[in-house]
Structure 1
Amino acid sequence: MREKILVDLLLNCKEPISLADIAKNLSYSESTIRKLIKDTIITSEKNGFIIELRKGKGYTLSVQDEKQFTQYQDELSSEIDVLNSDQRLEAILFHILQADGYITLEELAERILVSRSTITKDLVFAKKKLAEYQLELIKRPHYGLKIKGKELNTRKAFSRYVLHSTIYLEPTAQYKNFLKNCETGKLSEFLRNLIDRKQISVSEVIFENLCTHLKIILFRAMQNNYIKEEQIKIKQVDEIFEETAFELADWIEREFGLKLPKAEVDFLAAHLSAKSKTKEIKVRSQDRLFKDLKEILNALDEEFLTNFSNDPELILGLSLHIYPLLERLYYNLQLENPLVDEMKLKYTNVLVVSFRFGELIEEKYGYTLTRDEIGYIALHLAAHFEGEKQNLLDKVKRIVVICSTGGGSAHLIRLKLEKLFSSALIMTVSNKNIAAFKEDLPDLFLSTIPMEKEFQGVPIIQIKNFLDDMEIKHIKDLTTQQISARKMNSRVVGLRDLFSKEYLNIQKNGQYLDMIREQSDKMVQNKIASKDFTELVMEREQRFSTIYDKGVAGPHPISLGAGHNVVGVTILKEPIKWQQREVRIIFLINLKKGHLFLHKEISRFLAVLMDDEKWIARITQIQSFGEFITIIDEMITEDQ
């Protein structure tokens, strides 16, 4: 596992080690290492160690509890869990894609430490994964296995399953030798200096993408695997990108003795053009792009009751992103997004809109956006939502914070809230004095003690005694929900209100898509979902699965149109698998138009559920709706 190698590396370093050096040691991109460090830090304290970043120096690891740390290391002692079919599948693809020619079943079995028969069974799924990249896995007697397909598609699969593998495996001898002799750090340095000199603007993520593409070019070229002219369609790119590509090709020939054919150089220029932020868009293209974006955003506003089309900053930001995006789509280039998996749960509401944005792009231009590209669109839309949220918070002018005494902790709460509600006057009182505001009501009540949901028509939001960053974020979300609901003349729907006895299924097992379809059809028949609800849910799930961690799934349609807000729940007594992922509890989400904020509350609930195995274990053991609601109430109470 990469986490084990990272921890071992940091443990053995006497001095702080930089992100770049960690990436070089592990042979992964800096963005991948940055995410790996972030994920490792989340659970580090409970495993007896901490990772710290020393400014200007690098990362260090210090052991806080020897017993916990030793136990943690023992748990990570094997490279992969051979009983985990997902990890075996990744390992098979990892090794096959590095092979220069054929690789035998015996070689794969020896490297992954499983039987030949297990490898044979796993190859059925490996073929399906490769087919997603339009690649074929062929088998030749006495020779073994070999990948067949366009070189461009092989490189995409190589990037995913070798350079960005989700498990750590030792590279094959050939690839390890390539990394050792190629000095790819020198390549990164030359590329950075070159794009700076040419005044080409790229983000750090895109720079890492370009470096990854160049490493793949070098490795595949050393195996005499090149892109052929007939495999791609090349159109004229700006002169600056052609010049840059030729300079890169000349440098590669001098440094590595590899002369890239013209098709490779042309494709490299296309990569640079498609992955660079363009400071100046041609006036004609800009006018058309602005017009198209306005139409798309207007359509989104109508469907989701948003205000995208009136945000000039959003339109400008999207235009600068979409211009090179259309180039990428033309060449079928994939821009990897290291944040997309993290966003899947944290920004579910934004991704719902982003998927619809992708559909409208496809309708207008005929190109299909990848999940990673949709993730980048979501970042732009998320920034808009944050801006809208802050605008709503700025309209709150008077807040009353209710505590048991009105002093002490109330003063600390007020200081923190003043940073969030910068335009508001914030007062703190004890619960005994709330009646004093009957004639002079504030815009909002916040209470650290259990109370009714409102007082004289003004909402009362329950908050914790100590406001950490997560609680501040929660208050921000709840407040904007209250304001939005009042603007729409509707009440705020609580999480508990979304569940009902009619839409709770408890069954032993079944087929994942069949269970979703059955629950969806029931909602349509009962006229609480739109007529195309089932179709939209199935389309979303088959394109990009909503199965999260710990066997929790949250399927939903690619647009909102419910007649009634409801979440259907299917609980499985025995876990099932779909697309190599385990499923134990399915939450089918059906929300009204304009109720995007509820997606965020549901996502927060799912995150709490997955964070503690005890909740999942209890829910999977229930026998009735009453037991289910009791657990939900306990979860809500504990979270507060």
Structure 2
Amino acid sequence: MRLYSIMNDFVSESDYITLDFFVKKYGVSKRTIQNDLSYLIQLSKDKGFYINFRRGYGYILEVNDFKKLKRFMDSLNSDGNMTNSQRIQAIGFYLVMSDAYVTMDQLAEEFNVSIATIKKEIKQTENLLMDFGLVLERRRHYGLHILCDDDKARDYVLSAYAEGNPYIVHSIHEGLQDFCKINSFLISQIEKNNFNINYAELKVVISQLEIITFYAMHKELSEYIVLKTNSKNVIHEISQNIKELIEGYYLVSLDKKSFELIQKVLLKNIRTKKPEIVFGNQLESDINDFLIEIDELYNTQFQKDESFKKSLITHVSLLIERLSKKISYQNLLIKEICARYPMIFNISIRFSEMLKTKYGVEVSQDEAGFIATHFAAHMEKERQMKMDRFTKIAVVCSSGGGSAYLIKMQIESLFKLAQVETFSFMNMVELESFHPDLIFTILPLEKEFSVPVIYIKELLGDLDLMQIKQVLQYENCDSFDLTETNNYLYSIFNKEFFQYKEETDYLKLIEDMALQIEMSGYGGDRYKEYVLQRENYMNTIYLNGICIAHPIELCANKNVVSVTVLKNPIVYQGKEARIVFMVSLKKEDTYIHKRITEKLFQFMNNEKSMQNILQHPTFENLLVTLKELDGGVS
């Protein structure tokens, strides 16, 4: 947004800045800049700064809290770094929340883009709104206006807010100061009445309450009601208390539908503690058989973890009971779970299929995400246990002095239970008598050791430590060079599997890429089938148009990552695909899958890097860009 650029001008300039400077720089009217400055001045006292005006000189910034100012600047900057699809979504939000007609000029000023861009994107905005039953009305000399009822409008705002659109999140958070008071009251009511709710469910409830409140603050709602207080229904009473608290704190009136929405979201997401466990012995036996099969397939230890099994059985018992009554929960973390834990989500898909076969319940994608969190929690525990198997660790440096001590402190942060000692590379006798079960060294050792030896740099960065942790979390780790391991990750990308092309059919593109991998000998015989099976369950288009396609079961003969950069985005199931990565890995290399997805998750959250690839779509530029995310090109 333009506000971020204006604030940046103030921060960069130590002298007064005139109104004419802003008018000429941003090519907008004097009235528009005055409104922008008025808005910033109004906010300033709570954001760590003041904007002072002096006649004949202009405006100047005075900072009294740099931390608050930085947080404010970061929030403005996140608004300005929207992708095209996020801006389209934000334009829809702006139109939905506007009672009056909105002109193209107003939208161009609000989103700091040209009128040509707005005209180009308004059709896509119209299509997006239609998916929610919202009709965009165009009226000559007036502008644009949304024809809708409040229910559909709230659904649209909630959906966009849940996806984390930066413009919408910032607008709602700015409009709802101190909503934490409502949150605290809600939590106290849940605890007081001995109810239970998990974190994801709590986020759903709070998001709904925020949207209901924000919408009421900006719209004239009809059918205002005064509720009776003699109801014996606890959820009804909590809903009534929340309604009254919102109305009193934000000076709004909630209509009958708003109250019904509050009740509905509470009924759907909170429950009585200590519920009765159903399907006991049979369910336990079925889950146990499933875990034995998964452990054999992925070389994991789910079946041996009793606390994990108990937690999973309890969750699934309740899940089956809910699904049999057609009650399903929304999971706001589903996209991040899929993107960051692809192997775990694949296991959850298999688990869901087992429940469907044996218990006749259809597990939604959101519910599969909740199941995946149980498996992910166990995997984190399992990885830490594998780290803890190293109890005596040696650090070998040129002198055993300062640099060795620094590395020692860093290694101790990873291996909290281990004894870590430093040694000079000239003193192999002391090193040998220490009997280490793991060695870190900056130099080749003169003697052979029958334990893993990790060759490192004299100074380790955060990414180096993360990589050490990732590799050593696997049972059969061997000696390795940290730099070579980094290079190996990028060596999986192959120029023969890189393309820049025009395509309009998303599934055809996925099928063609999978077929190329299978026919080349990299993928196994059923590679394409497994990729399409995973894609048909739930598409792998994640944040900002990045797709990470992969088979539901690792089956490759050789490791490779295929990449297609699209000349124009493909819209599939309401999502926009811009760059497609397809991962093909051997079954024994599951740990590489996690490293690749973590790298691509980092990439998809960096709009600058993504735009660099879209503007310069070459294989060489892709590798350089990914390496730059490590903090430098090697």
TM-score (normalizing by structure 2): 0.67
Deviations 1:144-200 (A, max 9, x none): 76566994x65443212257651326999xx999979xx977754553443333132
Specify the code of the residue in structure 2 equivalent to 1:161. A
Across the aligned residues of Structure 1 and Structure 2, the Cα RMSD in angstroms comes to 5.5
Asked if 1:463 is matched to 2:456, the reply is: yes
Q: What secondary structure is seen at the aligned counterpart in 1 of 2:256?
A: coil
Asked if 1:334 is matched to 2:330, the reply is: yes
C-alpha deviation, 1:606, in angstroms: 4.1
Deviations 1:476-512 (A, max 9, x none): 222123x3457xxxxx987627746976234442328
Q: Which residue of 2 aligns with 1:510?
A: 502
Q: What secondary structure is seen at the aligned counterpart in 2 of 1:60?
A: helix
**Alpha carbons 1:405, 1:431 under 8 Å: kept:** yes
Instruction: Report 1:99-110 matches (<5 A).
Output: 107=103, 110=106
Closer, same or farther: CA 124–534 of 1 in aligned 2, 3 Å: farther
Specify the code of the residue in structure 2 equivalent to 1:136. G
% identical aligned pairs: 22
Deviations 1:428-450 (A, max 9, x none): 33445558878997432222347
Instruction: Specify which of 480, 485, 503 is matched with residue 473 of structure 2.
Output: 480
**Alpha carbons 1:540, 1:556 under 8 Å: kept:** yes
**Alpha carbons 1:81, 1:87 under 8 Å: kept:** no
Instruction: Report 1:7-18 matches (<5 A).
Output: 12-13=44-45
Closer, same or farther: CA 515–457 of 1 in aligned 2, 3 Å: farther
Q: What secondary structure is seen at the aligned counterpart in 2 of 1:411?
A: helix
243-252 or 350-359, which deviates more: 243-252
Closer, same or farther: CA 162–501 of 1 in aligned 2, 3 Å: closer
Closer, same or farther: CA 334–434 of 1 in aligned 2, 3 Å: same
Distance 2:616 2:243 in 1: 62
**Alpha carbons 1:303, 1:559 under 8 Å: kept:** no
Asked if 1:382 is matched to 2:379, the reply is: no
Gaps of at least 5 residues in structure 2 are: 9-39, 50-62, 225-231, 479-483
Distance 1:497 1:162 in 2: 35
Q: Which residue of 2 aligns with 1:209?
A: 204
C-alpha deviation, 1:361, in angstroms: 5.3
Q: What secondary structure is seen at the aligned counterpart in 1 of 2:166?
A: coil
Deviations 1:532-555 (A, max 9, x none): 422443454573434556x86533
Q: Which residue of 1 aligns with 2:584?
A: 590
Instruction: Report 1:80-479 matches (<5 A).
Output: 85-98=84-97, 107=103, 110-113=106-109, 122=121, 124-126=123-125, 129-130=128-129, 135-138=132-135, 146=146, 151=151, 155-161=154-160, 166-168=165-167, 187-188=182-183, 190-203=185-198, 206-217=201-212, 219=215, 223-224=221-222, 240-241=234-235, 244-245=238-239, 260=256, 265=260, 268-269=262-263, 271-276=265-270, 278-284=272-278, 290=284, 293-294=287-288, 296-319=290-313, 321-322=315-316, 327=322, 330-337=326-333, 346-357=340-351, 360=354, 366-370=361-365, 375-433=369-427, 442-449=436-443, 455=448, 458-467=451-460, 469-479=462-472
Specify the code of the residue in structure 2 equivalent to 1:196. E
Specify the code of the residue in structure 2 equivalent to 1:95. Y
Instruction: Report 1:543-622 matches (<5 A).
Output: 543-546=538-541, 553-564=547-558, 566-570=559-563, 572=565, 575-579=567-571, 583=578, 586-606=580-600
Q: What secondary structure is seen at the aligned counterpart in 2 of 1:336?
A: coil
C-alpha deviation, 1:249, in angstroms: 6.5
Deviations 1:352-386 (A, max 9, x none): 44455455556655434345x55544443332112
Distance 2:381 2:64 in 1: 35
Distance 1:378 1:632 in 2: 28
Deviations 1:96-146 (A, max 9, x none): 44367xx86x54663355788866754553465457xx6334467869765
Distance 2:490 2:169 in 1: 47
Distance 1:418 1:169 in 2: 43
**Alpha carbons 2:200, 2:331 under 8 Å: kept:** no
Specify the code of the residue in structure 2 equivalent to 1:462. Y
**Alpha carbons 2:561, 2:582 under 8 Å: kept:** yes
**Alpha carbons 1:10, 1:60 under 8 Å: kept:** no
Closer, same or farther: CA 125–359 of 1 in aligned 2, 3 Å: farther
Specify the code of the residue in structure 1 equivalent to 2:68. T
C-alpha deviation, 1:280, in angstroms: 0.5
Q: Which residue of 2 aligns with 1:521?
A: 515
Specify the code of the residue in structure 1 equivalent to 2:466. K
C-alpha deviation, 1:282, in angstroms: 0.8
Specify the code of the residue in structure 1 equivalent to 2:540. S
Distance 1:386 1:51 in 2: 39
C-alpha deviation, 1:288, in angstroms: 6.5
C-alpha deviation, 1:206, in angstroms: 3.8
Distance 1:164 1:635 in 2: 24
Closer, same or farther: CA 357–146 of 1 in aligned 2, 3 Å: farther
Closer, same or farther: CA 608–438 of 1 in aligned 2, 3 Å: farther
Deviations 1:237-282 (A, max 9, x none): x965465446657878999665637x964x6555324323653121
C-alpha deviation, 1:463, in angstroms: 3.1
Distance 1:478 1:257 in 2: 57
Closer, same or farther: CA 525–509 of 1 in aligned 2, 3 Å: closer
Specify the code of the residue in structure 2 equivalent to 1:260. K
**Alpha carbons 1:278, 1:324 under 8 Å: kept:** no
**Alpha carbons 2:194, 2:272 under 8 Å: kept:** no
Distance 1:403 1:78 in 2: 43
Specify the code of the residue in structure 1 equivalent to 2:390. V
Q: What secondary structure is seen at the aligned counterpart in 2 of 1:560?
A: coil
Asked if 1:60 is matched to 2:68, the reply is: yes
Distance 2:116 2:48 in 1: 45
Closer, same or farther: CA 323–159 of 1 in aligned 2, 3 Å: farther
Distance 2:162 2:528 in 1: 37
Closer, same or farther: CA 89–589 of 1 in aligned 2, 3 Å: same
Distance 2:451 2:280 in 1: 47
Instruction: Report 1:7-46 matches (<5 A).
Output: 12-13=44-45
Distance 2:118 2:70 in 1: 40
Gaps of at least 5 residues in structure 1 are: 18-48, 53-58, 64-68, 227-237, 487-491
Closer, same or farther: CA 14–253 of 1 in aligned 2, 3 Å: closer
Closer, same or farther: CA 633–171 of 1 in aligned 2, 3 Å: closer
